Chains A and B, each alone.
Chain A
């Protein structure tokens, strides 16, 4: 069980790396339907970017805190909740059901975002 989780995380990380390096090389053409355009949300200047992220069912979304201040990722409806993320720390959640998932930073509640899963 533990092994499969770490493998999955590794694949996501590799996938991101490939997407970053291979941008514009036609990497996406083979499986454009399955691969989401973005699986990463960056926290900069007390805001989530993108603020609204639309992804297919099954996508793992990874948030990265790039501020000098800790933040959290907390689903408004209780679907997920991260531990506190210090600078450069990450939190990932896999969305297995379609729906709209509003979330916020429980330390700085003015920070809000949404993941739309289709």
Chain B
């Protein structure tokens, strides 16, 4: 396979724009190079860190990856189903969630389980949760791990959510589990929000997390997932978490940390040190790019374009590699 090395100026040849190979300098990471790995709604990218070198492939070239894309663990992230939403931006959120499940069932490598990063429902109504549960039963992957979005904990402080999805969780719904050597941590950052503030984890949850990772080996790959981004995407719209820096500080000793979020209804990636941040598309409706509209409300696009900017995220862990491969697929 042809490779194009991106130099320190972040330049690369025009004809090979869909692949980056970034030399990992002794002085750290080429930020400008990593920016090219940022994927907006409507596009897709696979990022794999191999031996300190980050590669990014567009979805259109996935077929060239072949066995390289195979790994020990394969799972899918879906997010922001907003069941019950029926406005112009998408009058058929049932249909698009079903399309997402069809897409998952059609993946070449069947995922072992799914993560749902919140806003399962639009208004926390029992029938909305019921509908999602019913649709998810149609997925080939039977296990689904949830974290709540703010739309799942309306009016009752999360009581219904916890009864449905948090039976084995701690506190307001946080928990951890292990799959094939990868340690997963699901966090809740949508409760007890303060006026003027961002998402919040809170001291009790942070202390739990600190203890949760204390015994783990430094070589253990970590996947941290929560609804609101755990990095500052656009604080003006509330797209960030007040105390996420504290949570990430507990993970400094680990060589591979992947952070998966939803909430912003578009895909975005950032790499900082040992941490790869990723937000997933919604299965329901798109939201505008940060600052590109008066508000972060639902974005109406022509009906024929809608499925191209909704999607799922396929995550692939290959043992011995530093980061997990993350692939965004549209529903189109």
Contacts and interface: CB of A to CB of B under 8 A. Distances in A.
Interface of A: 45-47, 67-70, 72, 76, 83-84, 86-87, 102-104, 106-110, 112
Contacts of A104: 195-196
B89 A68 contact: yes
A68 B89 CA distance: 9
Q: Is the interface of B mostly helix, strand, loop or mixed?
A: loop
B195 A112 contact: yes
Contacts of B3: none
* The 10 residue pairs across chains A and B that have the minimum distance between CB atoms: A104-B195, A45-B295, A46-B295, A68-B87, A109-B193, A110-B238, A84-B154, A45-B294, A76-B195, A107-B150
15 contacts: A46-B237, A46-B296, A46-B297, A67-B297, A68-B85, A68-B88, A84-B123, A104-B196, A107-B151, A108-B150, A109-B194, A109-B195, A109-B238, A110-B196, A112-B195
Interface string B141-179: 000000000110011000000000000000000000000
B87 A87 contact: yes
Contacts of A46: 237, 295-297
B122 interface: yes
A86 B124 CA distance: 12
Contact of B155 (A69, A84, A112): A84
A70 B20 CA distance: 41
Interface of B: 85, 87-89, 122-124, 150-151, 154-155, 193-198, 236-238, 294-298
Contacts of A76: 195
A117 to B, nearest CB: 18
A46 B238 CA distance: 11
Most B CB atoms within 10 A — which of A47, A68, A108? A68
A108 B235 CA distance: 11
Nearest to A45: B295
Nearest to B238: A110
B155 A83 contact: yes
Given A70-B123, A84-B123, A109 B197 contact: yes
Contacts of A47: 295
Contacts of A83: 155
Contact of A70 (B122, B238, B294): B122
A87 B85 CA distance: 10
A108 B237 CA distance: 8
Nearest to A102: B195
Contact of B196 (A68, A70, A87, A109): A109
Contacts of B194: 109
A51 B154 CA distance: 24
Given A45-B295, A46-B295, A110-B237, 16 more contacts: A46-B297, A47-B295, A69-B297, A84-B123, A87-B87, A104-B195, A104-B196, A107-B150, A107-B151, A108-B150, A108-B238, A109-B194, A109-B195, A109-B196, A110-B198, A112-B196
A9 B226 CA distance: 42
Nearest to A87: B87
Nearest to A76: B195
Contacts of B198: 109-110
B298 A68 contact: yes
Nearest to A72: B154
Given A104-B196, A112-B196, A68 B122 contact: no
Nearest to A82: B155
Contacts of A107: 150-151, 154, 193
A47 B236 CA distance: 12
A70 B89 CA distance: 15
B195 A86 contact: no
Contacts of B123: 70, 84, 86
A110 B196 CA distance: 4
B151 A70 contact: yes
Contacts of B85: 68
A76 B195 CA distance: 7
Nearest to B193: A109
Q: Which of A87, A104, A107 has the most CB of B within 10 A?
A: A107
